[in-house]
Amino acid sequence: MQPIDATDKRPPFKKIASSIRAAILTGEFEPGAQLPPGRELSEFFGVSPMTVHQAVRSLREEGFVTSRAGSGVFVSEQPAAPVSTNREHALSGVANFLHEMGQLKRLRRAGWLFIGVPDPETVAEHSFRVAIIGIALATLEGADPNRTAVLCLLHDSPESRIGDIEAVGRAYVATSSPEVVSTHQTSAMPDALAEVFQELVRAYESEDSIESQLAHDADKIETLLQAREYEAFGHHDTAEWQESSTVALRTEAAKELAAGIVSTTPREWWSAFGKSYSELRKASRGARKPMKSS
C-alpha cells in the first residue's frame, strides 16, 4: 500500500480506498488475504478509525473486500450484480449496458430547473460537449486528447442509475459511489471489457492524472458555456453558475479557455453570417447562373 498524498484534494477515505484497491489489483493483497486490522491501517495512513471504516465500506460495496464477524476484512472476488436471465448471446450484457446508456439521452440536468429552465439539456447532450471541450483542453495542455475525451464521455455514466442530483439535493441524499455503480453496470460484460469501463470511471473519479483533471475542468467549462447560453436566451440568473464553474477550474488551459469564452457571446459564431446573409445569397445565385453561349 502507498501512503496517502497530502496534496490530493479528495476526501481521505477515498484516498485510502484507492491505495488499498491498488494493492489488491497489483497482487500485494491476494484473493482471500486478510487486510491489516483497522488500528494498523489507521496508524499507517494517519487518520481516524472512522475514516478507515468509511474506506473499507466503500471497498466492500465495490466487491473488493468482505467482512467476517469476529475475524476481520478479507480480499474477495468482485461479485456479480443481478443481471437478466436472457443470455442468448455472449455480448448480451454489452447490449444491455448500451441500452442503459441510452437512458442518459432522456435524463435532464436537474440543476437548471432552479432558475426556471423548463426543458434543460440532457446528461448525454452535456457529456457530448464535455468530450469536445476535453479534446481542446488536452491539446492546449499537451496531454492525451483521446484519453481525456473518453473520460469526459463516461464521467456521468453512473447517473443512468443514481440520476442527476443537483447540489441542493446532495446535502440530503447518499448514493453509492460511481465506482460501485460502474461495477454493477458492467457486471454482465466479458471481464476484459468490463474492466475497461470500470477503470475509466475509477480514473475520472481519482483525479490523479492530468487527463482526469482536464476532464473535470471540461465538465465545468461546459456548465459555463451552457449558463451563458441560457442567459442569452432569456434566463438571466446564471451568474452564480458562471462564477462557480470558473472558480473551480484547476488547469491553466481551462482557465485560459474560460477567459476566451467570457470574451465572446453565444451568438457571435453565427452573427457575422447572419449580417451578410443577403450578400451570400446573391453570390450563391450568381454562381448558379448558366453561362450564355456565344
Note the maximum CA span of the chain. 103
Question: What's the CATH fold of domain 12-75?
Answer: Arc Repressor Mutant, subunit A (1.10.10)
* Cβ atoms within 10 Å of 275's Cβ, excluding its own: 10
Q: What is the pLDDT of residue 79?
A: 43
3-class DSSP state of 233: coil
E strand or H helix at 22, and its extent?
Answer: helix 12-25
Q: What is the pLDDT of residue 86?
A: 56
Mean pLDDT value across residues 235-241 = 84
Q: How many angstroms from the chain centroid is the CA of residue 107?
A: 15
Question: What's the CATH fold of domain 92-266?
Answer: Hypothetical protein af1432 (1.10.3210)
63 grid coordinates: 466487491
Highest mean predicted confidence (pLDDT) among 117-126, 162-171, 172-181? 117-126
pLDDT at 82 over 80: no
pTM over 0.75: no
- Which residues make beta-bridge pairs with 72? 68
Mean pLDDT value across residues 102-131 = 94
59 grid coordinates: 471497498
C-alpha to C-alpha distance for 94 and 78, rounded to whole angstroms: 18
C-alpha to C-alpha distance for 77 and 183, rounded to whole angstroms: 12
Percent of the chain scoring above 70 in pLDDT: 89
- Which residues make beta-bridge pairs with 73? 67
Highest mean predicted confidence (pLDDT) among 41-45, 82-86, 112-116? 41-45
37 grid coordinates: 486490522
258 grid coordinates: 474560460
What does pLDDT average to over the chain? Answer: 87
Domain boundaries, the chain: 12-75, 92-266
3-class DSSP state of 181: helix
Environment class of 193 (CB within 10 Å of its CB; exposed 0-12, middle 13-18, buried 19+): middle
Q: What is the pLDDT of residue 80?
A: 41
> Residue 249 — very low, low, confident or very high, per pLDDT cuts 50/70/90?
very high
List the single range of 19-23, 130-134, 194-198 with lowest mean pLDDT.
19-23
> Residue 215 — very low, low, confident or very high, per pLDDT cuts 50/70/90?
very high
Which comes out higher in pLDDT, residue 284 or 55? Answer: 55
3-class DSSP state of 20: helix
* Torsion sign across C-alpha atoms 129, 265, 210, 10: negative
Percent of the chain scoring above 90 in pLDDT: 53
